[in-house]
Amino acid sequence: MDLRAELLKSIWYAFTALDVEKSGKVSKSQLKVLSHNLYTVLCIPHDPVALEEHFRDDDDGPVSSQGYMPYLNKYILDKVEEGAFVKENFDELCWTLTAKKNYKPDRNGNSVVSHQDAFKLWCLFNFLSEDKYPLVMVPDEVEYLLKKICTAMNVELNSCDLDDYLSQEPQGQGGLTVWQFLDMVNSGRLLRGIEQEAISMAVEEVYQEVIEDVLKQARSPRGYLWKKGQLRRNWSERWFMLKPSVLSYYMSEERKEKKGSITLDKHCCVEVLPDRDGKRCMFCVKTSSRTYEMSASDTRQRQEWTLAIQTAIRLQAEGKKSLHKDLKQKRREQREQREQRKAAKEEETQRLKQLQEEKERKLQELELLKEAQRQAEILLQEEEQRRRQQHEEMQRTLEIQLREAEQARASMQAEMVLKEAEAERQRKRIMELEEMQERLQEALQQEVKARHDEESVRYAQARLLAEEEEKLKQLMKLKEEQEEYIIKTQLEKQVLKQEMENKNKCLEEAQKQLEEVRVNRQRVDQDVMAAQRKLRQASTNVKHWNVQMNRLMHPIEPGDKRTNISGGGFAGYQPILCQRDSSLK
C-alpha cells in the first residue's frame, strides 16, 4: 500500500464527516477549509490562487467526492513527499474531523480505551483495512489485530467470543467498519478484566510496531541494552529502537535525548560474540564503516534482537520498506488463495453432488430398465406361447389346405387340357389380329404422311399470303407517300409562283431605283471633280507645313542626309478619292 493510498483512506473519513446530510456531497466552503488544513499538515506550499479559483462561489452547489478528486490529486497528493511531513499530525487532523461525528464512547466514562488509544486503533484499522470503499476490515484482519494487542499484554484472545460477536453483526462476516470495531473493543466482551493502562500500553506497542515500523524496541524494566563506545571504549546503557532502515538508541525510554543511530542496509550483518570484559550475551552489528558491540540482559533478549536486526537487513536486501506491509500483502494473498481453494472445494463438492445425483438417477433408470426387461421377458414368453399356438393352428390349417389343394390340382389338370385347346384357338385369332394391325398401321402411316404434306402446303400458302399482304401494305404506303408528295409539290408550286410575282415587283422597283442612282451618280461625279480641284489646290498650300511636321517627327542625327519631302502632304489622299470614285461608278 503506497503513501497515496494511505493518505486517501484518512481523507475519505474527513470528507464523509463533512457530509452531514449523507448525500455524497460537501459544500465548497468546507472543502476549502479542509484543503487549507491539508496543505498545512502535509507541509505543502499553499496555492491560494488555485484554492480560490477551484472553490469560488457559484451556482454549482456542493461537490461530490469524484468532483473533489481532481483537485486533491493535482494540487495536494501529487506534491506530497514521503518523509517531509509528520504522518501522525495528518492522521490526527482527519481523526478529529471524523471522530466528532462518528465516534461515540461511553458517556459514563466506562470505555475500555481512551480517546488517544481510539485514534491509534483507527490508524491501525486504516492500515489493515481493504483497499475498497467504504472501508472495512475483514474478520481475519480483525482477529490478527486483536491477537497482536493481546500478545502485547501476555493474554490469549478468546476466538469464540469474537466469532459470536461477528455472527451477531448484520455485516460481520463481510467485515467491520472502524466504528463497529471501536464499539466492539469498548464493549469489553473481548478484553474482560484488563486494566485500561495495560490496554493503552499494548495499543501503543502495536501502533509503534505496525504504523511506525518499529521492528523491535526494549521493554521496561529490563529492556535496556549495553553498548560499547567507539572512542572511550566504555559500556553505556541505552534504550534501543529498531526500524527497517535504522537502529536508534536513546538515553531513556522516553526517547527525548537521542544518542545516535545505526543505518542498516543489505551489506550489514549481525553476529553473536562470546562473553568478555565482564559482559555476557554479547552480539555485534557490522556495517560497511563500523562494528557496533552490544550486550543483552539474557540469552532470550539477545536472540530476539539478533533475529529482529536480521529481519531488518533482509527487508533492506529485498527493497522493502515495511515488514507489516509485506506481511499484510502475504496475508491478503493467503486469504485470496484460501478463498480460491474454498471456491474450488465448493465447486468440487457441487460437482460431486451433481455426479451423485447423476449416479442415483442412472441407478433409478437402471432399475426401471431391469423392471422393463422383466416385463419384456414375461411378454416375450407370452408372445412365444401365443406364437406356438398360432403355429400349431396354422399347421393344421395348412394340412387341410394341402388336401384341398391336391383335390384342386386334379380338377385343374382337367381344366388345363381345355384351356390349352382354347389357348390354341386364341393364338390363331391373335395372329390374324396382328396381321390386321400391321395393315392398319401402314394405312395410318400413309394418312399421317398425307396430313404432313397437306400441312406443308398450307404453311407455304400462308407464307405467300403473308408476303402478299406485306407487299400490299408497302404499295399502299408508297401510294400515300406519292399523294402526299403531289400535294406538297402543288403547294410548293403555288408558293414559287407567288415568290416570282413578288420578285418581279421587286425587280421593277430596283430598276426604278437604278435610274435614280445613275442620275445621282452623274451629279456626284461633278462634285468629285470639283473636290479634286480643291484638293490639288489645298495640297499645294499645305506642302510647306507638311515638311515642317516631318522634320519635327524625325530629328536630324549627325551624318544623316536631308530627305526630299516634296512628294508628301495631301497628295496621299488622291488614291483614296480615286477608289471612292470607282466604287460609285
121-156 pLDDT tens trace: 999 998 888 888 888 888 888 888 888 888 888 888
The domain segmentation of the chain, as residue ranges, is: 214-320
- CB proximity list for 183: less than 8 A, separation 6 or greater: 104
On the question of pLDDT at 271 being above 90, the answer is yes
> H or E element: which one contains 242?
strand 235-242
* 584 has pLDDT over 50: no
Please state the pTM of the whole predicted model.
0.56
Distance CA 44, CA 76 (A): 7
Beta carbons of 382 and 390 less than 8 angstroms apart: no
> Bigger pLDDT: 565 or 423?
423
pLDDT-derived band at 233 (thresholds 50, 70, 90) equals: confident
Q: At residue 378, does pLDDT exceed 90?
A: yes
Q: Of residues 41 and 222, which shows the higher confidence score?
A: 41
Average pLDDT over residues 20-29: 83
Chain centroid to Cα 106, Å, comes to: 52
Distance between CA atoms of 332 and 131, rounded to whole angstroms? Answer: 11
Position 356 scores a pLDDT of 92
**Lowest-confidence range among 11-15, 111-115, 168-172, 452-456?**
168-172
Residue with cell 501476555: 154
Which of 39, 21, 18, 38 lies closest to 29, judged by CA? 18
Taking CA atoms, 281 is separated from 31, 157, 217, 271, 316, in Å, by 57, 33, 17, 11, 26
The answer to whether residue 580 scores a pLDDT higher than 60 is no
The runs of H, that is alpha helices, within 129-270 are: 139-152, 159-168, 178-187, 196-210
* 283, 287, 341 from 273: Cα distances, Å: 5, 16, 47
Question: What percentage of the chain's residues is helix, strand, coil (to nearest 5)?
Answer: 70, 10, 25
- Give the CATH architecture of domain 214-320: Roll (2.30)
Residue 144 buriedness (CB in 10 A; 0-12 / 13-18 / 19+): middle
Query: Which is more confident, 574 or 233?
Result: 233
Mean pLDDT value of segment 333-352: 89
Three-state SS string over 455-510 comes to HHHHHHHHHHHHHHHHHHHHHHHHHHHHHHHHHHHHHHHHHHHHHHHHHHHHHHHH
Which whole number is the average pLDDT over 557-570? Answer: 48
The 3-state DSSP class for residue 559 equals: coil
Nearest Cα to 6, choosing from 112, 89, 128? 128
Q: At 95, is the pLDDT very low, low, confident or very high (cuts 50, 70, 90)?
A: very high
Mean per-residue pLDDT, 271-276: 90
Q: Count how many residues are written for the chain.
A: 585
User: pLDDT of 304-342, one tens digit each?
Assistant: 899 999 999 998 888 887 778 888 888 888 888 888 998
* Helices and strands: H and E segment counts in the chain: 14, 10
User: pLDDT tier at 173 (50, 70, 90 boundaries)?
Assistant: low
CB of 224 closer than 8 Å to CB of 304? no
Distance (Å, whole) CA 152 – CA 494:
143
pLDDT number for residue 583: 45
Query: What is the average per-residue pLDDT within 82-96?
Result: 89
Higher per-residue confidence, 444 vs 166: 444
What is the widest separation between alpha-carbon atoms in the chain? 174
- Does pLDDT of 58 surpass 70? no
Q: Residue 170 burial (CB < 10 Å; 0-12/13-18/19+)?
A: exposed
The helix (H) or strand (E) run that includes residue 227 is strand 225-228
- Give the residue-averaged pLDDT of 277-282: 87
- Cα 547 from Cα 564, distance rounded (Å): 9
Q: Residue 108's pLDDT is what?
A: 63
Residue 45 has a CB neighbour count (10 Å cut-off) of 6
What mean pLDDT comes out for the span 377-394? 91
Across the chain, what does the average pLDDT equal? Answer: 83
Please compute the mean of the pLDDT values over residues 14-29 and round it to a whole number. 85
Closest C-alpha among 113, 125, 424 to residue 416: 424
Whether residue 249 contacts residue 240, with contact meaning beta carbons closer than 8 Å, is answered with yes
Residue 94 contacts residue 18 (beta carbons within 8 Å): no
Alpha carbon distance 22, 11 (integer Å): 16
Average pLDDT over residues 222-238: 82
